[in-house]
Amino acid sequence: MENSTLYDIAIIGGGIVGAATLYKLQTRNPDLKIILIEKEDHLAAHQTGHNSGVIHSGLYYKPGSLKAKNCVKGRHELVAFAKEYGVDHDVCGKVVVATKESELPFMNKIFENGIANNTEGIEMISAAQIKEIEPHVVGIGGIWVPCTGIIDFVGATNKMAEVALAKQSASKVVLGEEVIAIEDKDGNHVIITDKQKINTRKMIFCAGLQADRMAKKDGVKLKEKVVGFRGDYYELTDQAKHKVKNLIYPVPNPDFPFLGVHFTRMTDGEIECGPNAVFTFKREGYGKTDFSMKDTCSALSYGGTWKLFFGNMKFGINEYRRAFSKRLFLKTLQTMIPDLTMEDIKPGRSGVRALLLSKDGDTRDDFRIEHTDNSIHVLNAPSPAATASLAIGEYIAEMAEEKFQLK
């Protein structure tokens, strides 16, 4: 079936970055007819709906990077949006905890990053001050980050789409339709889903775990490849929830491309511990044994995957051991909260993170957004993309206005 409407812009991908792009574009250009296409039956089905729910402060990111700029700007916008539209959130603060002397130099480094990135209110704190904030945590020093918070990212995503659609009755969100091909037609584009054909002048791809595949469908020659890493969480049982007040993070290992296992109080009152980080055999697989032949062959036939494996062999082995051992997971948690017991934790949910890997195994850590004459591709948007989503949406909207000559 062919949809006779010609849309000005089609956004492919209904995570929070796609929804924020819709919201920003529609707010800035209320006359545009925009369609957002999501292959699942609801928005925020993958990375957005499976992340830790943290409003990041901007502490960890290289000053001047897109991550640093957009995280801080996006955080302020996200909190303001949540206040205006009643999205569940709480700017509760967090502690970053050093548990051994060898962590202190890197803790000082991320503190300096925070200062350079205008992360307001941060301060170095002593072991005694850590105890005042989180009585069950044991550390030798730390950083207090008052502007970190928690939020319902799924609720925020839905609200962004809802507000955008209220600005233009001809715009729409289409759920449960997968984009399978793209064709050119009379200077415009025909997006072929598994249910219909959609005509559009321009396209914006916010496809997350499928970003490289969508780029290929659009004829973009991309040397890198997306590889998925699953993160497993545990939850604190009711008897142990008093041991965590808000957010507790370790000092991240600079040699490992993830922040490490942390404690997060969620907006619904649950407390999560995690995630670890293990290679996943299915990009959108959230179970420990989920498997996709297509995804596995794609990742394991790519040299960059093996370069990453060999460069992080020790970390990778430890992460896999923890994935299948509650006792080892607990041991990691006990480095910050020694009085946690096996009865204090129970298995929780999982998420999958998309890493855009180069052929040499570089994780392409910064945000990466590129354009052609008729399309924009968000190729790499790892954490803190959810926090930065409104800033990323604005960045894309400005790019679209310039490259697509919308104004």
The CATH number of residue 281's host domain is: 3.30.9
The answer to whether residue 384 sits within a structural domain is yes
- Phi, psi (deg, nearest 5) at residue 101: -60, -35
Strand partners, 96: 143, 249
Is the separation of the CB atoms in 245 and 373 below 8 Å? no
Does one domain contain both 125 and 235? no
Does one domain contain both 109 and 249? no
The answer to whether residue 55 sits within a structural domain is no
Please provide the size of the chain in residues: 407
Does one domain contain both 313 and 165? no
DSSP state of 39: S
Supply the pLDDT for residue 34: 98
Does one domain contain both 106 and 162? no
Does one domain contain both 140 and 204? no
Supply the pLDDT for residue 268: 94
Does one domain contain both 105 and 24? no
Return contacts of 160-163, CB within 8 angstroms, 24+ apart: 160/16, 160/19, 160/20, 160/22, 160/23, 160/81, 160/389, 160/390, 161/14, 161/19, 161/22, 161/23, 161/36, 161/43, 163/23, 163/27, 163/85
Supply the pLDDT for residue 323: 85
pLDDT in tens, the chain (407 residues): 767 899 999 999 999 999 999 999 999 999 999 999 999 999 999 999 999 999 999 999 999 999 999 999 999 999 999 999 999 999 999 999 999 999 999 999 999 999 999 999 999 999 999 999 999 999 999 999 999 999 999 999 999 999 999 999 999 999 999 999 999 988 899 999 999 999 999 999 999 999 999 999 999 989 899 999 999 999 999 999 999 999 999 998 877 767 789 999 999 999 999 998 899 999 999 998 999 999 999 999 999 999 989 888 888 888 888 888 999 999 999 999 999 999 999 999 999 999 999 999 887 678 999 999 899 999 999 999 999 999 999 999 999 999 999 86
Supply the pLDDT for residue 342: 97
The answer to whether residue 203 sits within a structural domain is yes
The answer to whether residue 282 sits within a structural domain is yes
Indicate the SS3 state at residue 270.
Answer: coil
The answer to whether residue 59 sits within a structural domain is no
- The total of structural domains in the chain comes to 3
The answer to whether residue 89 sits within a structural domain is no
CA distance 23 to 30: 10
Does one domain contain both 208 and 314? no
Does one domain contain both 215 and 233? no
The answer to whether residue 88 sits within a structural domain is no
- Phi, psi (deg, nearest 5) at residue 355: -115, 125
Supply the pLDDT for residue 317: 84
Supply the pLDDT for residue 407: 67
What's the pTM value of the predicted model, to 2 decimals? Answer: 0.96
Does one domain contain both 290 and 331? yes
Is the separation of the CB atoms in 244 and 134 below 8 Å? yes
**Domain termination site, one of 127, 145, 163:** 145
For residue 311, give its domain range: 225-363
Does one domain contain both 209 and 195? yes
The answer to whether residue 383 sits within a structural domain is yes
Does one domain contain both 369 and 357? no
Supply the pLDDT for residue 364: 64
Does one domain contain both 234 and 220? no
